[in-house]
Amino acid sequence: MVPQSLNHHVPQCPIILIMHTYQQPNTDGHFGQFGGSFASETLSLPLRELHLAFQKYAKSTEFLAEFHDELVHFVGRPTPIYHAKRLSHEMGGAQIYLKREDLNHTGAHKINNTIGQALLALRMGKTRVIAETGAGQHGVATATICARYNLPCIVYMGSEDMRRQQPNVQRMQILGAEVVPVESGSKTLKDALNEAMRDWVKNVDNTFYIIGTVAGPQPYPEMVRHFQSVIGQESMLQMPKFLSGGQPDYVLACVGGGSNAIGIFYPYIPYPEVRLIGVEAAGKGLDTPYHAASLQKGSVGILHGNRTYILQNDDGQIIDTHSISAGLDYPGVGPEHAHLKELGRVQYLGATDDEALQAFHRLCRTEGIIPALESSHALAYALKLAPTLRRDQSILVCLSGRGDKDLATVLSYQ
């Protein structure tokens, strides 16, 4: 159990078993007014079966032991905390630390969740896996674990994202996955999720849908948070070694659907001395139509089976989004983020395309680390925040993925 104050060293304790005073969602899958399960009648039974399986195995010693064994021996966890000393010195303020999710097998945080869901699929007797992907990292992680567990894998991906993220398309195909291009709508993440849902409706008996973010109908927001919270739990154990037994003053993460952010935020939620900041894609500016800032510029509605903040017009139709980052251009956000915004526990801000690019290049050239463009949004805000703080204060940034996949996009902006 974590101590009442984070100013003391957090004891070594089993990951996923940290006790929490913040109890969300409720038994109906709602985070305050958000969340729930707004799904077709065809999906009601499989969602209930999935929820029951998750509740059973989330408490299973045998399941958790296998899950953590995979995280250690297949993924390479725990990922390290890195003190970006040169970058911190150049900014002239707070010390910047990076939680290195980019060092996971497959290059991002997504593998944490896909392993957990794939282990559930095996226990539920499912023989086919589907997934959606935007930037491709969730697709790669799903294809990877399906190859490991000998499960056929179909990944839906918007054709525009396939164009932007060709290296990840190739990785999925080499791993044996079938990548299905989606040509409808904006040809990006929301459209891929739509097609995956349609597939699931048609094949509920044998198919397990591995959703990659903390959106979707219950139990997905809770389940994905459960598997991704390893990020924050490791951070709580690691940061005291850098901070004389304390915890960071700020924790920052990028927010699209929001899985890496919930993953690092969740264990810190009960401790107000640690300020939490989620950074959305401000695109070409929040005062333009070209952004993906659902929490800052959206309104409450229902998308992909849950109530949350979404970008919609006056008629309730989803509007197109924009971000230089394929992983952040979702027109909604996980319902727990919507709830945390309303509680005031997490502050949600934005970083523009240009700011993310500048942060990308700065980290490359000061620390020798190539970050994903998604992660670069969080880093961009850290670079704004650091000079306003004292040198003895600290910022922890979730570096959610590596940027190999984004090199063509970055070079096209030169």
On whether both 66 and 101 belong to a single domain, the answer is no
- What total number of domains does the chain contain? 2
On whether both 83 and 203 belong to a single domain, the answer is no
- Active site (annotated) includes residue 5: no
On whether both 368 and 379 belong to a single domain, the answer is yes
Which residue, of 224, 243, 276, is where some domain finishes?
224
By the 8 A CB rule, do 384 and 352 touch? no
Instruction: Specify the pLDDT at position 21.
Output: 66
On whether both 117 and 130 belong to a single domain, the answer is yes
CATH assignment at residue 211: 3.40.50.1100
Q: Which of the following is catalytic: 110, 187, 341, 405? A: 110
Which residue, of 224, 251, 282, is where some domain finishes?
224
On whether both 300 and 398 belong to a single domain, the answer is yes
Q: Which of the following is catalytic: 132, 195, 222, 355? A: 132
On whether both 176 and 236 belong to a single domain, the answer is no
Helix (H) or strand (E) holding 95: strand 95-100
Sign of CA dihedral 174, 165, 185, 48: positive
Residues whose CB falls within 8 Å of the CB of residue 38, separated by 6 or more in sequence, listed in order = 217, 302, 305, 306, 307
Structural domain boundaries enclosing 125: 38-73+110-224
Mean pLDDT across the stretch 232-254? 98
- Active site (annotated) includes residue 235: no
Q: Where are the beta strands (DSSP E) in 37-94?
A: 81-83
Statement: residue 1 has pLDDT above 70: no
On whether both 201 and 243 belong to a single domain, the answer is no
Which residue, of 178, 205, 224, is where some domain finishes?
224
Identify whether 8 is part of a domain. no
On whether both 250 and 356 belong to a single domain, the answer is yes
Instruction: Tell me the per-residue pLDDT of 11-41, one tens digit each, with 9 for 90 and over.
Output: 333 333 344 568 899 999 999 999 999 998 8
Identify whether 14 is part of a domain. no
On whether both 363 and 333 belong to a single domain, the answer is yes
Write down the mean pLDDT value for the chain: 93
- Active site (annotated) includes residue 110: yes
* Lowest mean pLDDT across 13-17, 89-93, 147-151, 197-201: 13-17
DSSP string computed for 382-406: HHHHGGGS-TT-EEEEEE-BBSGGG
On whether both 259 and 168 belong to a single domain, the answer is no
Identify whether 46 is part of a domain. yes
Identify whether 280 is part of a domain. yes
Identify whether 33 is part of a domain. no
Q: pLDDT grade, residue 9 (50/70/90)?
A: very low
Instruction: Tell me the per-residue pLDDT of 290-307, one tens digit each, with 9 for 90 and over.
Output: 999 999 999 999 999 999
Q: Which of the following is catalytic: 235, 376, 394, 400? A: 400
**SS3 labels along 261-312:** HHHHHHHHCCCCCCEEEEEEEEECCCCCCCCCCHHHHCEEEEECCEEEEECE
Identify whether 379 is part of a domain. yes
On whether both 251 and 281 belong to a single domain, the answer is yes
On whether both 239 and 251 belong to a single domain, the answer is yes
Mean pLDDT across the stretch 121-147? 96
